[in-house]
Amino acid sequence: MHRAIFVLWPSFVIGGMAEGVFFTLFDPMELHLFGEPVELGRTAIYSIGFFAFWAVAAASSAMTCFLQKPAADINNFCPLKPPERPPGCPLRDSGESCCEDPQQGIQVFGRR
């Protein structure tokens, strides 16, 4: 739920600001879509514009949240040896170490 709030609230604010700036510069009744004038009322154009700007800002915020994940989470990297892993970890009982290459005796990060 927190992640959704982190995405939707800032994108809502930015969507409102972007709509204000865009429609300050462009009159909604003078907009053309595929060479034809838009046949909707001002309120409908304002509403569609707001939701379009909100969707673009939400996509940007969602991408930011996705890219904030540490590489260890994305690559399933676990720095703990199997017996030290917490209960419920799917690799706890496997005996497989994700940070060591047994053939070479070196640490390999991000490997399962």
Same-domain pairing of 58 and 78:
no
Same-domain pairing of 79 and 26:
no
Whole domain around residue 94: which residue ranges?
72-112
Read off the pLDDT of residues 12-37 as tens digits, 9 standing for 90 and up. 999 999 999 998 998 888 888 888 88
pLDDT at position 106? 44
Same-domain pairing of 62 and 99:
no
- Give the 3-state secondary structure of the chain: CHHHHHHHHHHHHHHHHHHHHHHHHCCHHHCEECCEECCCCHHHHHHHHHHHHHHHHHHHHHHHHHHCCCHHHHCCCCCCCHHHCCCCCCCCCCCCCCCEECCCCEECCCCC
pLDDT at position 108? 46
0.85 surpassed by pTM: no
Percent of the chain with pLDDT over 90: 24
Same-domain pairing of 36 and 84:
no
Read off the pLDDT of residues 64-109 as tens digits, 9 standing for 90 and up. 888 877 766 666 666 777 777 777 777 677 655 555 545 544 444 4
Structural domains counted in the chain: 2
